[in-house]
């Protein structure tokens, strides 16, 4: 297959494994790359030393292009991004934060940058900052998707920008891929689908539960980790959403986060405070759009700006910290009684646990078949 995404990244198929904490580990990333797609290493739970080690491990497992994800809102993410740049990774994925200076560093050695966006405003800002491509995450996706569905969000952003777009959210097979391409996308991300494979590190209990649940068995709320987030619907998830922010749990969880990032708790606190000041100082001016267009996106942008304000950002990061521990329990240990698992709505149309290569090959085959059938009907 040939699209602007395959040419940009030097891959065979425009299929992406997004960076998902505790899931997008070196083994799964390499499996996706070796099967013709591209995987993103999730660095959220990693220290800079562990990030470097993981990048080098990926290079031992594959000679194909791969990516590293950096969620800039999170403590330690910027440092992990710098490690990725030092290692000259082929692709850097930036989300939840500005990364213009990082983009310049990546471009200096010939690397590429893809920015994750959930609104038209975010997409335009990323394009102006120097991104090479956009990863557009719709409402149906696991974790932090837009409040707008992929069906509407993708064409809105495709119309607004000149960059190639990767669609994520609600895609698990060739049918979803064909639909995304019809909307103007030139690549697709399949986080939930690729996490439900034999190479995935996800605990068997979590995978089995996904196979049992349907498309309606997820929860989308900002009461789980401060951002709008989609999680698997279980009693523990419902309780977490009902309880909302718990500063005591957030404080306790922050010690676990500090440990995983190889930081003292005090250094973690300083990182959070300095990060909030930086985000506040970099806050973009309101362009005051005088139109009723995309009201949900304007609402989302307003929420994000509010979240980034100094003390509020610190409180929201504490909220994320308690979610961090819950997600880790469910993903790594399969504890669905105390933990909470992140899953997309497509869990309800996934019925098996194949290899990564099988998923990618049959997705491409189904996509090609649909393309031929549609061309025949059009003729």
The average pLDDT across 134-160 equals 97
Any residues with CB less than 8 A from the CB of 55 and at least 6 apart, and which? 41, 68, 83, 84, 87, 89
The average pLDDT across 269-290 equals 43
74 pLDDT band, cuts 50/70/90, is: confident
Backbone angles phi, psi at 3, to 5 degrees: -135, 175
Q: How far is CA 178 from the centre of its chain?
A: 21
On whether the CB atoms of residues 346 and 172 are closer than 8 A, the answer is yes
pTM of the predicted structure, to 2 decimals: 0.85
- The domains located in the chain, with CATH, are 4-202+349-378 (3.20.20.70), 218-333 (no CATH)
Q: Which residues pair with 112 in a beta bridge?
A: 91
- Express each pLDDT in 357-377 by its tens digit: 999 999 999 999 999 998 888
H and E: helices and strands count for the chain: 16, 10
Q: Which residues pair with 165 in a beta bridge?
A: 134
The average pLDDT across 61-74 equals 95
Residue 198 CA to residue 355 CA, distance in Å, equals 5
The average pLDDT across 327-331 equals 96
CA dihedral 82, 88, 89, 91 (to 10 degrees): 80
* pLDDT given at position 46: 94
- Asked if residue 7 has pLDDT above 90, the reply is yes
Residue 182: how many other CB atoms lie within 10 Å? 14
> Measured between alpha carbons, how far is residue 216 from residues 229, 238, 320, 346 in Å?
15, 14, 24, 9
- Asked if residue 288 has pLDDT above 50, the reply is no
């Amino acid at each position: 297959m040939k699209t602007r995404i395959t040419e940009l990244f030097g891959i065979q198929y425009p299929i992406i494994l997004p960076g998902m904490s505790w899931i997008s580990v070196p083994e799964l990333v390499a499996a996706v790359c070796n099967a013709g797609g591209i995987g993103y290493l999730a660095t959220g739970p990693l220290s800079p030393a562990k990030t470097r080690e993981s990048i080098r491990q990926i290079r031992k497992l594959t000679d194909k292009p791969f990516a590293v994800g950096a969620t800039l809102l999170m403590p330690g993410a910027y440092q992990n991004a710098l490690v990725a740049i030092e290692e000259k990774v082929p692709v850097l994925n930036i989300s939840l934060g500005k990364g213009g200076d990082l983009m310049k560093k990546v471009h200096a050695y010939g690397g590429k940058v893809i920015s994750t966006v959930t609104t038209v405003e975010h997409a335009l800002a990323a394009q102006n900052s120097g991104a090479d491509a956009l990863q557009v995450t719709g409402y149906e996706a696991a974790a932090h998707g837009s409040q707008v569905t992929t069906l509407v969000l993708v064409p809105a952003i495709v119309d607004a920008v000149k960059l190639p777009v990767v669609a994520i959210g609600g895609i698990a097979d060739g049918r979803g891929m064909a639909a995304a391409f019809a909307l103007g996308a030139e690549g697709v991300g399949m986080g939930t689908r690729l996490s439900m494979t034999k190479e995935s590190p996800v605990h068997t209990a979590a995978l089995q539960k996904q196979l049992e649940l349907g498309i309606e068995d997820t929860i989308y709320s900002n009461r789980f980790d401060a951002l709008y987030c989609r999680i698997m619907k279980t009693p523990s998830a419902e309780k977490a959403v009902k309880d909302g922010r718990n500063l005591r749990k957030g404080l306790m969880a922050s010690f676990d986060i500090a440990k995983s990032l190889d930081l003292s708790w005090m250094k973690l606190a300083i990182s959070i405070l300095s990060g909030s000041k930086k985000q506040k100082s970099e806050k973009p001016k309101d362009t005051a759009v005088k139109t009723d267009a995309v009201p949900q996106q304007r609402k989302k942008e307003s929420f994000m700006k509010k979240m980034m304000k100094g003390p509020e950002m610190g409180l929201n990061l504490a909220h994320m910290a308690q979610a961090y521990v819950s997600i880790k329990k469910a993903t790594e240990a399969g504890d669905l009684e105390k933990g909470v698992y992140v899953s997309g709505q497509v869990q309800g149309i996934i019925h098996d646990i194949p290899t990564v290569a099988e998923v990618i090959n049959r997705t491409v085959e189904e996509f090609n078949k649909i393309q031929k059938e549609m061309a025949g009907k059009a003729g």
